[in-house]
Amino acid sequence: MSGPLALVGGDEFAPGCDFDAELLAAAGADEVALLATGSAYENPGRVVATAREWFGGLGVGLREVPVYTRLDALVAENVDAVAEARFLYVTGTSPMHLRSVLKDTPLLDAIFSAWEGGAALVGSGAGADVLCDPMVDTRGGAFTVGLGLLPHLAVVARANLWSPDKVRRTVELAPTDVVLVELPERTAVVREPGGHWRAAGVGEPVVHRNGRPATLSDIPGPISRS
């Protein structure tokens, strides 16, 4: 059975993200494999250090999987680290870079396979955005192709930092078969292994479908790769 899955609005590894402890327990993990790929050009070392301190406080270790370029996603050691992980965390600020690095690589296959084998998978900020299909191009709020684990779902990460007009345009541009979720920072939607979605963290997700208010029960499930 697939593991728990969480999409986080950003500002992760901070007070209010208590869902991390719950996900660790659910996955039976004693180490987190971190891909800070989406912060490749914005001091990823700082992200890694913050994550190490945060998860150390939760009693588990952190393993940086240094995937910052497409060549890194082809390195066997990195692929093996992901394949063996019980808790995978994908984060950063650039969904476009994340997509360009991971799409159609053995490392992405390893991420999906580990999750399908019971590992917890968390995407935060750009990591949440890119797991969906379509994903939101944060530069203007329009839609583009994501990595496709969650089809017919898109998220506005760090929604609390967007202007109301930008959010409105994105809601209006959303395809009719797509559920759009606004995720403020330190706020998550968590999918339990049985398929139920719930909110967690400090804020409240806002769900849209066909330009109208919707609920967490409208969020579709991940793809089946079997």
- Structural domain contains residue 206: yes
- pLDDT, one tens digit per residue, over 141-197 is 999 999 999 999 999 999 999 999 999 999 999 999 999 999 999 999 999 877 889
Residue 111 has pLDDT above 60, yes or no: yes
DSSP, res 73: G
Q: Return the bridge partners of 155, or none.
A: 181
Average pLDDT in the chain: 96
Confidence of residue 68 (pLDDT cuts 50, 70, 90): very high
**Residue 145: predicted pLDDT:** 97
Give pairs for 72-80: CB < 8 Å, separation 24+: 72/101, 72/107, 73/101, 73/102, 73/105, 73/106, 73/107, 73/108, 74/105, 74/106, 74/107, 78/107, 79/106, 79/107, 79/110, 80/110
User: Phi, psi at residue 194, to the nearest 5°?
Assistant: -80, -10
Residue 38: which domain range?
5-218
- Structural domain contains residue 226: no
- Structural domain contains residue 225: no
Total domains in the chain come to: 1
Whole-angstrom distance, CA of residue 5 vs CA of residue 115: 8
Q: Provide the whole-model pTM.
A: 0.97
Residue 90 has pLDDT above 90, yes or no: yes
- Structural domain contains residue 224: no
**Residue 223: predicted pLDDT:** 73
- Structural domain contains residue 212: yes
Average pLDDT over residues 44-64: 98
- Report the CATH number that the domain containing residue 164 is assigned in CATH: 3.40.50.880
